[in-house]
Structure 1
Amino acid sequence: MALRAIEEDSLPVLFGRQRIRSRILTGFTVLALVLCVGLVGGLGWMVQAEIDELGRATSDNLQWTLSKTEVEYVRMQEAFRDGAEGRPDTTEIRRRFDIVYSRISTLEVSPAFAPLRDDPGMAGKLAEIRSFLDDTVGLIDGPDDALVAALPGLQPRIDALEANIREIGLTGLRIFAEISDNRRAELVHGFIVAGAVLGLVLCALVLIAGMLLGMARTAEHRTREMMRTATRLRTIVETSLDGIFVADPAGTIIEFNPAAQAIFGYSRNEARGNNAGDLLFPPEVTADLRGGRLAYLNERRRPEPHERVIELTAVDCNGRRFPAEFSVDRADQDDGHVFVAIIRDITRRKAAEEGLTQARDRALAGERAKAEFLAVMSHEMRTPLNGLLGTMDLLHDHALSERQAALLARMQSSGRSLLALVNDVLELAKFEAGKMQAEARAFSVPRLADGVIETAAPMATANENTLNWAWVGAPVETVMADSRRLRQILLNLVGNAVKFTRGGSVDLEIEALGARRDMLEFRVIDTGIGIDPDHAERIFEDFETLDSSYAREVGGTGLGLGIARRLAGMLGGEIGVESEPGEGSLFWLRIPIEHVDSPAEAEPVIGGPRKTRGRLNRPLDLLLVEDNEINRFVAREMLEAEGHKVTEAVNGRAGVEWAASRCFDAILMDISMPEMDGPEAARLIRSGDGPSARVPIIAVTAHALPEEIARFHEAGMDACISKPLDRELLLDTLVQVVSGGTVRAPAPPEPPRPVDLSRLDELRERLRPEAFSALLERFVTETRGTVAALASGQVAPEELAATAHRIAGSCATFGFDALRSALARIETEAKAGRTVSPGDLAALTGLWDESHALLIAREDLAASETGRARSAAL
């Protein structure tokens, strides 16, 4: 089942060079013969000249002219053939044509050639040659483009006239030889010379015969090579994994290889004789191909790379459509041309690409969902932590026994550890979600270093370490960079150095590098346990901690250095370490900076050591806008403990109404609230002319994303503090805003994750029994009713998010983790505009019953007889 068309197409190409060589050798042979004949004629002319006393010396050497005419015609023929085969040299073509034209004119008009013209057969042959010359002279004298375009058509006529030229030459030689013989019959020595010449001609012919024999042997050898090549080509085609078919100019399939049979399901005999477009492709694809995608085939040009391979839809014998790669080209042959096409089924590749696309889309959707979840989780996790840490701060205002103070210290330490852990995890999540961007601002480098050292000083003292910082080289005062992220990195490096050093020293060195001093290098050098160089890269990986003699004692998530490397890259810098076990470590950080001329342009270092600005000399009248009762309780207790008066509003709309009714000294505004959120309430307050339209508004939020904090300021809020509330930060912020300053507080730390029901016991211990009982009863009543309303579908879809949000924070405070998680999912779905499943709403009832039963059991174990009675009422 050989692909004969392909073989036939390849063999002319393979034989082409051999034909050219044969023609060249033949031309040389003819030329040699013509030269020999010319030599004989010349010798005859010499004999005649000796006999003729007049020594006739005509300018027309008859034999030479005839031979030269044929030689020049052959040269013209070669010039035209080169042009027809794509190598036109118009100058050479015209020159050869002019020479032949001159030779033929000589034969026609010269008296010396009268005997030749008198020959009955020669007049017609000269007339045919003259007709060709006259027809062609216009093209020769015309433009190059017209001449080149006509060359393929002229070539057959030139080849056809070659026999005439040869016949004219041979006849002329014959005629003039006869004349010479008659005139020189008596000259024996002339015949001797002629015989010698003929001997030379014979030798030449023998030589030429030998050359032709060698050429024949070479041709035979090359033919065998070509046949072997054709066999290999046939084998390649038949064993190809890609389908190959050959079609004639009308598109009829001539050959169909085994791979094509496997792809389309047709046998070779079934496919042959059918139109390829109708058999192998849908109608719309066939029309598209005929409409111009394969135009290069008819233009006889090499296709561009983008034209060579076409992706299209093919159809097999069962009507199944599948994606395919299609490539086709034209193969010219002596008897016409064929089209050779290669087709490949790319169904699997397309499926893989589709799978990758879907995976990418899912990954992007997951990143978006993670970013959305981050914002929601930031708020929800800070709400219960606000109650936890805020209440701990309030307990310091009460007289505690030594035992109670120790327990409270442990609780605060655990809370801070939990906060640090969640901060690390959420910092990583925020970076991966693409929500973190560098914020360049002017700051004082010495103040930044002072803040880092002051923050790490307590831990250094606890580990009996000395902690200092110093400049190396000339100092720099004020620069432009992201001071908050820079401080975060330095605190991580210094904190790690202090943590893994006992009874040693930790030094922070700062040096300005570069010719323009536009690069700051921070070096944290410690005398601690050191790091094996083989682990130098591992410590910058997420969740990677190295085992050491006391590494397990200090703990840690293993995220700090991974986050530090990400932050360094975000700032355009780099971070690294040099260390040896037992020899201490040197961590270095390099970041680019811009110098600021005026120190007055520097902002306070965000997150630096807190410097209390003093207390107000009067109590403040404050408006607290917060929808969560527990958060209102904690904030009110903190503020009333300082002697301030607090008015509470349970949502943004109530806050707007209070602000329009009287003048407050400041407004503490929550962000996520039902009916009206904090930013909208702030805009309404600022846009009105009420008594509190111009008083300071402080955003109290669990949202940690920078773009959200910027939105709060755009809404008219003067400052922003984060949950959980820090009493000192809250009071300092009040001092600043009431004194006339505007504070843009740092982005709050990332929220912690809710704990379990054990937090109920901690809440009971922190609050007075009466306050705890009242909060618990209100929580149970409010949550039971809200869960029932949600589960029964009584809450409108547009109110789902606000309703779920209102009770989710309280659930986390009292340890109702499963219920809080379910409510958070419902809130997220509702905020995203997606339909919440009725099954998810109905599941809230089971979660509430289970959590409520655990609550009653816990109260039965912890309460007195009075408590049991209250639990029974619950």
Structure 2
Amino acid sequence: MSVPDYLFDRVTQEIRQQMDCVLALTTRLASPLPAADTRACVEGVAVAAETVRRITAASADIRSALSDALILSPGPVALRDLVDRLDDRWRARLTGSGLTLMVSYDGPPEGAAMLDADRTLQVFDGFLAHALSGVRKGAAEVMLRVRESGDVLVLEGRVRSSRTGLRTDTEVDVREIEEMFGLEAAMGFMLGRHVLRRLGGRARILQNPGQGETLSFAFRAERPPERPAEVKSADRAAHILVVDDNATNRMVAETLCSMFGCTTEPAEDGEAAVEAAATGRFDLILMDIRMPRLDGVGATRRIRAMPKPIGCIPIIALTANADADETASYLGAGMNGVVEKPMKPDQLLQVVRDTLALPQLDASAAA
């Protein structure tokens, strides 16, 4: 599926608008303000920054999809939880729209699959945006149905609405989606189609018995090696070393870790990371790759050369370069996993949780 040129033009326009907003708010913050106004300005800057982050991330994803370089990071996902996340995000989006959304799950109560949860939700987002654009009132239904097919699972998503004339090809009016749900929804529609293709899935249109049509898509997923572990943040306060030469990146990582119930300490480069790791205080290290004095790969090799148990501390790479070759080189240096920048809370939580659940790495094997 091609992407209309105007969509990337709109990304540029939206970023300019949001940055104009940021400049106006920061100018206002430079003058004395009541505490309430200061908080409102800070919140406005945060909202604008988050909007720009999401739009630029979606734009980068679409460009990657067009060059067949879109990265999927599958992990064990509880399917009922996936449906709950979908329900939460779309109920908030449809508040006050006159539309009612009914979300359901048809599968094993404890069903789980190896999925990239964020990418899978992007597929649902795209189909929902298309099915609901132009619908001003009434109800829509979305379902995830799961069935077994030998050693794999078949996941089928269905989005039913009162709309007719739905399509699965390039003739979909992306502008109509943007007008009703915004630029992010329009980009989500384009991205969702590419993700589905990347998953080896297919889409079709079904006629409803009464009014409207149903968009249906299906793809296969492997079973997880075991049931996904429960989130451990509530009963374990892991102590994490956050290594990054950029203060903003450290703050973001530390904030996300605190959301999981973890405690953190910062380090500004690889030399500081090696020195901190030698104290043996940490359960996990989040390691930036490109840093002055000593980069993340070099720091990892030096830590792996230390005696046990310090040499066995799990280390996760933080990097904007997470293609297959780069990832292989990080793992070859002794790292346990990779989190791509900009960091997403769900992805970081999954990697931290999975890594802390792994048996300790043998330092000699990773050297």
| TM-score normalised to structure 1 length | 0.31
Give the secondary structure class of the aligned counterpart of 2:85.
Answer: helix
RMSD of aligned alpha carbons: 4.8
Q: 1:669 is aligned with what amino acid? A: M
Alignment match of 1:432 (pick from 57, 66, 74): 66
Contact 1:668 / 1:700 at 8 angstroms: preserved in 2? yes
Contact 1:640 / 1:646 at 8 angstroms: preserved in 2? no
Q: 2:175 is aligned with what amino acid? A: L
Summarize the Cα distance change of 1:725–1:568 in structure 2 as closer, same or farther, 3 Å threshold. closer
Summarize the Cα distance change of 1:500–1:672 in structure 2 as closer, same or farther, 3 Å threshold. farther
Deviations 1:691-712 (A, max 9, x none): 7423343433333435544544
Contact 1:578 / 1:587 at 8 angstroms: preserved in 2? yes
Contact 1:659 / 1:690 at 8 angstroms: preserved in 2? no
Alpha-carbon distance in structure 2 between the residues aligned to 1:437 and 1:698: 17
1:228-377 → structure 2 map (5 Å cutoff): none
Asked whether 1:590 is paired with 2:234, we answer no
Deviations 1:123-172 (A, max 9, x none): xxxxxxxxxxxxxxxxxxxxxxxxxxxxxxxxxxxxxxxxxxxxxxxxxx
What is residue 28 of structure 2 aligned with on the other side? none
Alpha-carbon distance in structure 1 between the residues aligned to 2:77 and 2:263: 34
Summarize the Cα distance change of 1:656–1:420 in structure 2 as closer, same or farther, 3 Å threshold. same
Alignment match of 2:175 (pick from 546, 557, 560): 546
Contact 2:315 / 2:335 at 8 angstroms: preserved in 1? yes
Alpha-carbon distance in structure 1 between the residues aligned to 2:115 and 2:254: 35
Deviations 1:715-753 (A, max 9, x none): 3334544544568987x6898489x4359xxxxxxxxxx
Number of equivalenced pairs: 325
Contact 1:482 / 1:571 at 8 angstroms: preserved in 2? no
Deviation at 1:478, TM superposition (A): 3.9
Alignment match of 2:357 (pick from 717, 741, 756): 741
Summarize the Cα distance change of 1:518–1:555 in structure 2 as closer, same or farther, 3 Å threshold. closer
Contact 1:459 / 1:498 at 8 angstroms: preserved in 2? no
Alpha-carbon distance in structure 2 between the residues aligned to 1:714 and 1:617: 29
Give the secondary structure class of the aligned counterpart of 2:61.
Answer: helix
Any stretches of 5+ residues in structure 2 without a counterpart?
1-21, 23-33, 360-367
Contact 2:297 / 2:330 at 8 angstroms: preserved in 1? yes
Deviations 1:409-458 (A, max 9, x none): 44333333323322222122222333336666664433332232233332
What is residue 300 of structure 2 aligned with on the other side? 682
Q: 1:574 is aligned with what amino acid? A: R
Deviation at 1:680, TM superposition (A): 2.8
Deviation at 1:663, TM superposition (A): 2.4
Summarize the Cα distance change of 1:504–1:663 in structure 2 as closer, same or farther, 3 Å threshold. same
Deviation at 1:670, TM superposition (A): 1.0
Deviations 1:388-415 (A, max 9, x none): 9xxxxxxxxxxx9444444444433333
Summarize the Cα distance change of 1:518–1:711 in structure 2 as closer, same or farther, 3 Å threshold. same
Asked whether 1:614 is paired with 2:234, we answer yes
Give the secondary structure class of the aligned counterpart of 1:507.
Answer: strand
Alpha-carbon distance in structure 2 between the residues aligned to 1:707 and 1:671: 14
Summarize the Cα distance change of 1:670–1:512 in structure 2 as closer, same or farther, 3 Å threshold. closer
The structure richer in helix per residue is: 1
Give the secondary structure class of the aligned counterpart of 1:653.
Answer: helix
Alpha-carbon distance in structure 1 between the residues aligned to 2:291 and 2:70: 26
| TM-score normalised to structure 2 length | 0.66
Deviation at 1:633, TM superposition (A): 5.9
What is residue 169 of structure 2 aligned with on the other side? 537
Give the secondary structure class of the aligned counterpart of 2:144.
Answer: strand
Give the secondary structure class of the aligned counterpart of 2:334.
Answer: coil
Give the secondary structure class of the aligned counterpart of 2:175.
Answer: coil
Give the secondary structure class of the aligned counterpart of 1:538.
Answer: coil
What is residue 716 of structure 1 aligned with on the other side? 334
Asked whether 1:521 is paired with 2:138, we answer no
What is residue 470 of structure 1 aligned with on the other side? 104
Deviations 1:797-850 (A, max 9, x none): xxxxxxxxxxxxxxxxxxxxxxxxxxxxxxxxxxxxxxxxxxxxxxxxxxxxxx
1:389-408 → structure 2 map (5 Å cutoff): 401-408=35-42
What is residue 12 of structure 2 aligned with on the other side? none
What is residue 601 of structure 1 aligned with on the other side? 226
Deviation at 1:644, TM superposition (A): 5.3
The structure richer in strand per residue is: 2
Give the secondary structure class of the aligned counterpart of 2:104.
Answer: strand
Summarize the Cα distance change of 1:694–1:499 in structure 2 as closer, same or farther, 3 Å threshold. farther
Contact 1:718 / 1:742 at 8 angstroms: preserved in 2? no
Any stretches of 5+ residues in structure 1 without a counterpart?
1-387, 389-399, 606-610, 744-874
Alpha-carbon distance in structure 1 between the residues aligned to 2:256 and 2:149: 53
Summarize the Cα distance change of 1:552–1:685 in structure 2 as closer, same or farther, 3 Å threshold. same
Contact 1:718 / 1:737 at 8 angstroms: preserved in 2? no
Asked whether 1:449 is paired with 2:83, we answer yes
Deviation at 1:489, TM superposition (A): 0.9
Give the secondary structure class of the aligned counterpart of 1:520.
Answer: strand
Alpha-carbon distance in structure 2 between the residues aligned to 1:502 and 1:409: 31
Give the secondary structure class of the aligned counterpart of 1:669.
Answer: strand
Deviation at 1:588, TM superposition (A): 1.4
Summarize the Cα distance change of 1:729–1:601 in structure 2 as closer, same or farther, 3 Å threshold. closer
Give the % identical residues.
22
Alpha-carbon distance in structure 2 between the residues aligned to 1:432 and 1:457: 30
Contact 2:113 / 2:153 at 8 angstroms: preserved in 1? no
Alpha-carbon distance in structure 1 between the residues aligned to 2:153 and 2:350: 35
Alpha-carbon distance in structure 1 between the residues aligned to 2:97 and 2:38: 25
Deviation at 1:546, TM superposition (A): 3.4
Contact 1:625 / 1:667 at 8 angstroms: preserved in 2? yes
Alignment match of 1:664 (pick from 281, 284, 288): 281
Alpha-carbon distance in structure 2 between the residues aligned to 1:476 and 1:573: 24
Contact 2:337 / 2:351 at 8 angstroms: preserved in 1? no
What is residue 188 of structure 2 aligned with on the other side? 560
Deviation at 1:584, TM superposition (A): 5.5
Contact 2:319 / 2:340 at 8 angstroms: preserved in 1? yes
Give the secondary structure class of the aligned counterpart of 1:546.
Answer: helix
Contact 2:79 / 2:113 at 8 angstroms: preserved in 1? no
What is residue 486 of structure 1 aligned with on the other side? 120
Deviations 1:251-289 (A, max 9, x none): xxxxxxxxxxxxxxxxxxxxxxxxxxxxxxxxxxxxxxx
Contact 1:463 / 1:498 at 8 angstroms: preserved in 2? no
Deviations 1:456-500 (A, max 9, x none): 33223354543333356x758646564434333123333555676
Q: 2:226 is aligned with what amino acid? A: E
Contact 2:112 / 2:228 at 8 angstroms: preserved in 1? no
Give the secondary structure class of the aligned counterpart of 1:434.
Answer: coil
Alpha-carbon distance in structure 2 between the residues aligned to 1:411 and 1:443: 33
What is residue 506 of structure 1 aligned with on the other side? 140
Alpha-carbon distance in structure 2 between the residues aligned to 1:706 and 1:422: 22
Deviation at 1:513, TM superposition (A): 7.3
Deviation at 1:685, TM superposition (A): 0.5
Alpha-carbon distance in structure 2 between the residues aligned to 1:513 and 1:679: 43
Alpha-carbon distance in structure 2 between the residues aligned to 1:401 and 1:556: 32
**Structure showing greater relative contact order (alpha-carbon pairs closer than 8 Å, 6 or more residues apart):** 2
Contact 2:80 / 2:105 at 8 angstroms: preserved in 1? no
Deviation at 1:589, TM superposition (A): 0.7
Summarize the Cα distance change of 1:416–1:539 in structure 2 as closer, same or farther, 3 Å threshold. farther
Q: 1:592 is aligned with what amino acid? A: R
Summarize the Cα distance change of 1:461–1:742 in structure 2 as closer, same or farther, 3 Å threshold. farther
Q: 2:155 is aligned with what amino acid? A: L
Alpha-carbon distance in structure 2 between the residues aligned to 1:626 and 1:722: 14
Summarize the Cα distance change of 1:416–1:647 in structure 2 as closer, same or farther, 3 Å threshold. closer
Asked whether 1:648 is paired with 2:280, we answer no
